[in-house]
């Protein structure tokens, strides 16, 4: 079976090769490829599928599949395999990395020491997490782990989720709340929902006014879960005191601004989002990281191991 592997780093490709004996890894120009292994930064649409008429499996190395035209794949009888649950602790830990960096002004303090040499504590007073309320939006495996960490800090935990599990709430010690109630009561809001039609712009211009004044927003999910213009407005109006963002709406265009700006027919809304993202990057109370919440050696190895299992299982066919 011929596999095209779009590697984030070369060691990953070698790691997978060693665990798939008998599989031929080919270049992305090989039309005989039967398997594509991709990450979230490599969209697979109908045009991409057209390049590989023998394609049978798209093995994405991610939990989400919003970068794949799943309906088109289904029409062509192409299977799609993903990696659920590889980084529950990994992403949750990073969410708290952003929370702590904001609550204790870590970036400000580091910048002050390295750029000015000043060890003054003026302006660096933070706030405790103990006793504060965190709103966890989405209580899958990552949301559950985030809730457990929050309880360890002595926080009150509110959870908004489409599916309620009272036994889980009792075990972890959180309380369910509808989204408007959660927004109004939380000192920190952490997003852990998958990206789909129902979660597109979940935080938007219509509901940002419901957010507790002075709260902090953390997004380690997907950029488009938050309407960028709403986030900008919330910061400008003082509704949000700050934000920790590992993802941005239209972050692909942020990497290729010149193409968007100089193209013959730039899309007005996409251009607007790019400019708004620049506001966020320059904002003193916003921390932005380049989509690295998942990126630990342990989590990547779990991703790769599951990807290997997905490909091997597909190769062996359905069990009788």
Active site residues: 222, 251, 291
Give dist(CA 208, CA 215) in Å, integer. 11
Question: Would you call 244 helix, strand, or coil by DSSP?
Answer: strand
Asked if residue 212 lies in contact with residue 187, where contact means CB atoms within 8 angstroms, the answer is: yes
Selection from 152, 227, 216 nearest residue 183 by Cα = 216
In this structure, what token pair is assigned to residue 141? 């495996």
Residue with tokens 């889980």: 168
Question: Whole-angstrom Cα distance, residue 13 to residue 6?
Answer: 8
**Burial label, 19 (beta-carbon count in 10 A; 0-12, 13-18, 19+):** middle
Of 170, 161, 233, residue with least CA distance to 190: 161
Going by C-alpha positions, the residue among 187, 132, 136, 128 that lies closest to residue 158 is 136
Strands (E), 161-275: 175-176, 188-191, 215-219, 240-245
SS3 of residue 217 by DSSP: strand
State whether residue 314 is helix, strand or coil: helix
């Amino acid at each position: 079976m011929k596999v095209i592997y779009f590697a984030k780093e070369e060691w990953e490709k070698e790691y997978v090769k060693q665990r798939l004996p008998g599989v031929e890894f080919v270049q992305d120009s090989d039309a005989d490829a039967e398997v594509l292994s991709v990450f979230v930064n490599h969209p697979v649409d109908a045009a991409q599928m057209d390049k590989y008429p023998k394609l049978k499996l798209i093995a994405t190395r991610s939990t989400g599949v919003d970068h794949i035209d799943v309906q088109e794949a289904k029409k062509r009888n192409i299977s799609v395999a993903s990696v659920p649950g590889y980084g529950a602790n990994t992403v949750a830990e990073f969410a708290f990395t952003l929370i702590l960096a904001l609550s204790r002004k870590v970036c400000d303090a580091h910048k002050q020491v390295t750029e000015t040499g000043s060890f003054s504590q003026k302006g660096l007073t933070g706030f405790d997490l103990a006793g504060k309320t965190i709103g966890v939006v989405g209580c899958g495996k990552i949301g559950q782990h985030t809730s457990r960490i929050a309880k360890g800090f002595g926080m009150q935990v509110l959870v908004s989720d489409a599916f309620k599990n009272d036994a889980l709430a009792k075990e972890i010690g959180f309380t369910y709340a509808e989204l408007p109630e959660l927004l109004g009561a939380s000192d920190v809001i952490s997003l852990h929902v998958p990206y789909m039609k129902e979660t597109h712009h979940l935080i938007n211009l219509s509901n940002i006014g419901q957010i507790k004044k002075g709260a902090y927003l953390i997004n380690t999910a997907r950029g488009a879960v938050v309407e960028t213009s709403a986030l900008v407005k919330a910061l400008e109006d003082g509704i949000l005191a700050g934000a920790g963002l590992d993802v941005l709406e239209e972050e692909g265009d942020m990497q290729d601004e010149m193409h968007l700006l100089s193209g013959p027919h730039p899309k007005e809304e996409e251009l607007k989002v790019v400019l708004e993202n620049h506001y966020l990057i320059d904002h003193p109370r916003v921390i932005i990281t380049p989509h690295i919440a998942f990126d630990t050696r342990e989590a990547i190895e779990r991703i790769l191991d599951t990807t290997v299992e997905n490909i091997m299982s597909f190769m062996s066919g359905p069990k009788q």
